[in-house]
Amino acid sequence: MSQADNAQIRTVTEAEIEKQREYAALVSTAVSLRYPQGAPKAFVHTYGCQGNVADGERLEGMLIESGYELTDDLNSADLVLYNTCAIREHAEDRLIGNVGALKVIKKQRPSMKIVLCGCMMQQEWAAEKIRKSYPFVDIVFGTHAIYKLPELLYRNFTSGKRVFDIEDEAGVIAEGLPVHRDSNFKAWIPIMYGCNNFCSYCIVPYVRGRERSRDPQIILEEARQLVAAGYKEITLLGQNVNSYGKGTDYNFSKLLRELNAIEGDFLIRFMTSHPKDCTFELLDTMAQCDKVAKHLHLPFQSGNNRVLKEMNRGYTREKYLSLLEYAYKVMPELSVTADVIVGFPGETYEEFLDTVSLVNEAKFTSMYTFIFSSRKGTKAEKMPDPVSREEKGKWFRELLDAQEAVAAKRSASCVGRTYRVLCESVSKGGLIEGRTQGNVIIEFPGSLDLIGGYHEVKVTESLTWILRGELIS
C-alpha cells in the first residue's frame, strides 16, 4: 500500500506504452496459434466506481489489442478478468465468492485464464490470499500496473507460471492506452487519479495512490474527439474533481469552461465533488456554462460536526449547507445528490439525528447511503465501534425513510413539467429510459431508435425515485 507523501508520481513514457503495444502484438500472435478456430473470448467484469469502470474500458482495449474478442458469456470465456473494488467489505466478499465459483469452470476448461486486478488486489493481504488459497488464478495486478496487462499476459503465456504485480507506487499516469468504450453516446473521461484526503474510513488513498491530474490539453483533445464521434454526454471522473490541477495555475473551473466551449450538442457531467474543495467559483462556473449539467454530486457523509472531524473530512455541517444555499441561489433548478455513512465508529444516535436533519434540510434528489464498513489499514479501523450492526441497520432504515419522503415530494413537483432527456436504455417493462440533466430517470413509451439521442418528455406521473412521462413530438 502506498502512503508515503514523498513518493513520486510517475508518468509512463511513450516508449513504455510502445513496449506494451509490442507485447500485445506478441500475445496476439500467440493466441492466434493457440486458438486456430477463431479469436478467444474474454469476459470482463468491473466492480466499484466509475473510475474503475473507466479503467475497465482500457483493460478491454488492451485485451482486444492482444487478440481477444469480448463476450458477455462467462461460461464460454477463454479469459475472465475481474477488475475489483475494495471500498466496503461487501464488495470484497462478493469478489471472493465469484472467484471461488470460477474454480468449477476452470476444472472443466483448464485452458481458461483467470485475471484479477484493481483496488482490492492492490492490497497486499488480498493478493497474498489469492496466491495461497486460489491457485487457479493466473494473473494478479494492482491499480498501478493496469497499463502493463499485455506484458503480464505475455509473461504468463510464455512461462506458464502465475504472474503477480502489485508494486507499491505513489501512482502513475498512463496516456495513450487503447479504450473500448461500453457506450457510443456516453463517455467517461478520468481527469485525475488517486486521492490525498485520507478520510479516516476510506481505503481509496491506499489502493489508488496519490492525487494526480491529467494534462488539460490531453483531456480537451479526448473530449473533442468524443464529441466529433457523436458522443452526447461526457462525465469527468476523479475522487475529488474540485482539486483538479492543484499546485498549477489551472483549475477545475477553467477545465469546465474550456470543455463548455467545444462546439456540439452534448452535456458535461462530473463526479465526485468534495465539499472541502468545492468553491463558489465552481458553482458560478456551473451556472454559467450551458453544457454543464445542473447536477451536483456532493457527498456529505455525516451531518454532525464531531463525526465529520473524526472522519477527517475538512468541513463542517454549516459550510456544507452554505455551499448548497449558494448553489441553489445561482442554479434554482439544480439537482443535488450525495453519499452518507451511517454508524461511523463512536457515532451516537443523537449525532446520527443530525444527519437525518441535514437530509431534511438539503432536499437531495437522491442519496447513496452506506453502513460503515471497517477497512484494513485505515484510521477508523482502530476506533472503538460499540454500536451493533443491528442497531446501525435501524438507523439506516430511518434515514432511508427520511430521504424517501424528501424525494417523493421533489418528484411530485415535477409532474406536468417537460424535460430534455438523453435516452439511454429500455426498462424491464419495455419503456424508454431517459435521463434528465438533474440525473433523474424518466421512463416513457417510445421506439428503440430514440436511444442515444436527446428528446423532450413531459412528466405525467411520479414514482419517488423515477418519473413516468410521454414523448413530446
Strands (E), 345-417: 366-371
Backbone angles phi, psi at 147, to 5 degrees: -65, -15
List the single partner that 205 binds among ligand SF4, ligand SAH, ligand F3S, none, CB under 5 to 8 Å by kind: ligand SF4
Stretch that binds ligand SF4, among 191-199, 277-285, 318-326, 367-375 (CB under 6 A): 191-199
Total number of residues that touch ligand F3S (CB under 6 A): 12
Contacting ligand F3S (CB under 6 A), which of 2, 43, 51, 469?
A: 51
Minimum CB–partner distance for residue 245 and ligand SAH (Å): 17
Stretch that binds ligand SF4, among 194-202, 369-377, 389-397, 457-465 (CB under 6 A): 194-202
Stretch that binds ligand F3S, among 62-70, 84-92, 244-252, 384-392 (CB under 6 A): 84-92
Residue among 49 and 353 whose Cβ is closer to ligand F3S: 49
Minimum CB–partner distance for residue 173 and ligand SAH (Å): 18
Residue among 52 and 304 whose Cβ is closer to ligand F3S: 52
CA distances in angstroms from 418 to 247, 415, 427, 442, 457, listed in the order given: 43, 8, 20, 11, 5
Residue 243's Cβ-count burial label (10 Å; 0-12, 13-18, 19+) is: buried
Determine the residue with CB nearest ligand SAH: 339
- Taking CA 155 as the corner, what is the angle to CA 154 and CA 158, rounded to the nearest 5 degrees? 80
Residue 36 has which C-alpha cell? Answer: 486456430
Q: What is the full DSSP assignment across 171-226?
A: -EE--S-----S-SSEEEEE-EE------TT--HHHHH-S-EEPPHHHHHHHHHHH
Q: Does 142 bind ligand F3S (CB under 6 A)?
A: no
* DSSP state for residue 448 in the 8-state scheme: G
Q: Does 450 bind ligand F3S (CB under 6 A)?
A: no
List the single partner that 406 binds among ligand SAH, ligand SF4, ligand F3S, none, CB under 5 to 8 Å by kind: none
**Radius of gyration in angstroms for the set of CA atoms belonging to the chain, rounded to a whole number:** 23
Minimum CB–partner distance for residue 3 and ligand SF4 (Å): 12
Q: Does 54 bind ligand F3S (CB under 6 A)?
A: no
Q: Is 301:275 a contact under the CB 8 Å cutoff? A: no
Residue among 340 and 387 whose Cβ is closer to ligand F3S: 340
* DSSP state for residue 76 in the 8-state scheme: G
Q: Segment 112-131, which members bind ligand F3S (CB under 6 A)?
A: 119
- Taking CA 187 as the corner, what is the angle to CA 182 and CA 192, rounded to the nearest 5 degrees? 115
What does the alpha-carbon distance between residue 409 and residue 363 come to, in Å, rounded to a whole number? 9
Beta partners for 84? Answer: 118
Residue among 300 and 395 whose Cβ is closer to ligand SF4: 300
What does the alpha-carbon distance between residue 18 and residue 174 come to, in Å, rounded to a whole number? 11
Q: Does 86 bind ligand F3S (CB under 6 A)?
A: yes
Q: Does 49 bind ligand F3S (CB under 6 A)?
A: yes
Total number of residues that touch ligand SF4 (CB under 6 A): 10
Contacting ligand F3S (CB under 6 A), which of 27, 42, 62, 87?
A: 87
Binding site for ligand SAH (CB under 6 A): 87-88, 201-202, 239-240, 272, 274, 299, 301, 339, 341, 370, 372-373, 375
Residue among 239 and 436 whose Cβ is closer to ligand SF4: 239
Contacting ligand SF4 (CB under 6 A), which of 197, 302, 436, 462?
A: 197
Query: How many CA atoms, within 13 angstroms, populate the side-chain half-sphere of residue 123?
Result: 19
Contacting ligand SF4 (CB under 6 A), which of 56, 142, 205, 216?
A: 205
Contacting ligand F3S (CB under 6 A), which of 2, 20, 52, 253?
A: 52
What does the alpha-carbon distance between residue 173 and residue 190 come to, in Å, rounded to a whole number? 11
Stretch that binds ligand F3S, among 202-210, 258-266, 323-331, 459-467 (CB under 6 A): 202-210
Residue 321 has which C-alpha cell? Answer: 449547507
Residue among 43 and 201 whose Cβ is closer to ligand SAH: 201
What does the alpha-carbon distance between residue 148 and residue 248 come to, in Å, rounded to a whole number? 29
List the single partner that 341 binds among ligand SF4, ligand F3S, ligand SAH, none, CB under 5 to 8 Å by kind: ligand SAH
Residue 273 has which C-alpha cell? Answer: 465533488
Residue among 301 and 355 whose Cβ is closer to ligand SAH: 301
What does the alpha-carbon distance between residue 328 and residue 331 come to, in Å, rounded to a whole number? 5
What does the alpha-carbon distance between residue 355 and residue 371 come to, in Å, rounded to a whole number? 13
Q: Segment 215-254, which members bind ligand SF4 (CB under 6 A)?
A: 239-240
Q: How far apart are the first and last CA of the chain?
A: 55
Interface residue list for ligand F3S (CB under 6 A):
48-49, 51-52, 85-87, 119, 203-204, 207-208
Interface residue list for ligand SF4 (CB under 6 A):
195, 197-199, 202, 204-205, 239-240, 274
